[in-house]
């Protein structure tokens, strides 16, 4: 390299290197992610492979394959699949009715606003709302029994059960589906349908051969996201069912809350397993989301 080029690359004499101020706005977010996501995750991963004395072990990971823990994971996976599948079906139907079904445009704004609020409504308030509505002495339960002679308990419905928790999860799964799939439905170009109609395709053929293949990555990605969203939900499950339903988040809570019989490092291993499962689901969502965005641009 010539001395002339070297001199041109050097900063002018007396000029100080300036801090890129446009990065300052990202610092609070970076600090939040570091303190509340990255460091706790690293602590969980390290703790899953430690003994109470601090030594290395794989016994905690091996303990995940015991019958009781595998049953808890399996119940959690079933609830997550059921709530994600129903959330996708119902949410897609609502979003399609608003975006493509010819409903008044005035409905869209309030629906998306409610979906934004409801998708984040969970924990004790959500559990209390469903107990007050569909619990053993809930408003709807008592009304059906006293006014219509329908006893939900005799029909086999129990809010503190698999389907009861799945139904509760749908309160935030359906709005989340609406929020995510609405932009994908907006991305369906009118020219695609007009071209299909010109070529003689029926409405069913258009959806089966054009719209559905384009939306499929978004649908599968949203299903993966809803699965992860349900699988990691802990506050609602604990507040609603307590210890009556053995799922992975409740079992994790029992191990790390500090009871005499609790094993915090087994709790770390349980959390590590949940991180792996939800991480895979989120990775699938990100990959499929990227594929669908290429189609809809």
Q: 202-229 in b/e burial notation, b at 16+ Cβ within 10 A? A: eeeebbeebbeebbebbbbbbbbbbbbb
Q: How confident is the model at residue 2 (pLDDT cuts 50, 70, 90)?
A: very low
User: What's the average model confidence in pLDDT over 73-91?
Assistant: 95
Give residue limits of the domains in the chain: 67-296
pLDDT at 236 over 50: yes
Among left, alpha and beta (phi > 0; psi -120 to 50; other), residue 121 is beta
Q: Which CATH class is domain 67-296?
A: mainly alpha
Q: How confident is the model at residue 21 (pLDDT cuts 50, 70, 90)?
A: confident
For residue 115, the surrounding DSSP H or E stretch is: helix 108-118
How many CB atoms within 10 Å of residue 257? 10
pLDDT at 231 over 50: yes
DSSP 25-54: GGHHHHHHHIIIIIHHHHHHHHHHTB-TTS
User: What's the average model confidence in pLDDT over 77-94?
Assistant: 95
What is the structure's pLDDT at 214? Answer: 86
User: What's the average model confidence in pLDDT over 50-79?
Assistant: 90
What is the structure's pLDDT at 78? Answer: 94
199-209 residue pLDDT tens: 888 888 988 88
- Cβ neighbourhood burial of 190 (10 Å; 0-12, 13-18, 19+): exposed
What is the structure's pLDDT at 216? Answer: 87
- Which one has a higher pLDDT value, 154 or 86? 86
Rounded distance between C-alpha atoms, residue 184 and residue 293, angstroms:
8
Q: Cβ distance 61 to 269 under 8 Å?
A: yes
What is the structure's pLDDT at 1? Answer: 47
Q: 138-155 in b/e burial notation, b at 16+ Cβ within 10 A? A: beebeebeeeeeeebeee
Rounded distance between C-alpha atoms, residue 101 and residue 294, angstroms:
25
33-62 residue pLDDT tens: 999 889 988 998 999 999 888 889 999 999
Please enumerate in sequence order all residues whose Cβ is within 8 A of that of 162, keeping only pairs 6 or more positions apart, or say none.
75, 78, 79, 82, 245
Rounded distance between C-alpha atoms, residue 87 and residue 172, angstroms:
9
Q: Cβ distance 230 to 84 under 8 Å?
A: yes
pTM here is 0.83
Rounded distance between C-alpha atoms, residue 44 and residue 34, angstroms:
14
User: What's the average model confidence in pLDDT over 174-193?
Assistant: 90
Rounded distance between C-alpha atoms, residue 265 and residue 51, angstroms:
7
């Amino acid at each position: 390299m010539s001395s002339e080029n070297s001199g041109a690359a050097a900063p002018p004499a007396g000029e100080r290197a300036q801090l890129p101020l446009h990065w300052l706005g990202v610092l609070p977010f970076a600090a939040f992610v570091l303190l509340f996501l990255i460091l706790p995750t690293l602590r969980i991963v390290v703790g899953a492979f430690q003994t109470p004395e601090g030594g290395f072990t794989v016994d905690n990971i091996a303990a995940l394959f015991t019958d009781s823990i595998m049953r808890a994971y399996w119940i959690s996976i079933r609830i997550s699949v059921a709530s994600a599948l129903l959330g996708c079906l119902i949410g897609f139907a609502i979003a399609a009715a608003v975006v493509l079904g010819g409903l008044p445009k005035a409905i869209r704004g309030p629906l998306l606003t409610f979906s934004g609020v409801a998708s984040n409504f969970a924990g004790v308030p959500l559990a209390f709302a469903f107990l007050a509505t569909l619990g053993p002495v809930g408003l709807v339960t008592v009304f059906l029994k006293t006014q219509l002679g329908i006893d939900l308990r005799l029909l086999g419905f129990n809010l503190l059960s698999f389907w009861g928790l799945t139904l509760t999860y749908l309160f935030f799964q359906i709005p989340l589906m609406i929020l995510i799939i609405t932009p994908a439905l907006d991305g369906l170009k009118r020219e695609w349908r007009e071209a299909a109609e010109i070529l003689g395709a029926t409405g069913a053929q258009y959806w089966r051969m054009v719209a559905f293949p384009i939306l499929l990555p978004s649908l599968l990605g949203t299903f993966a996201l809803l699965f992860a969203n349900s699988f990691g939900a802990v506050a609602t499950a604990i507040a609603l069912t307590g210890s009556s339903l053995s799922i992975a988040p409740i079992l994790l809570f029992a191990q790390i809350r500090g009871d005499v019989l609790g094993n915090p490092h087994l709790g770390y291993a349980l959390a590590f397993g949940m991180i792996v499962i939800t991480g895979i689901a989120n990775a699938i969502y990100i990959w499929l989301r990227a594929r669908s965005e290429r189609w809809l641009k």
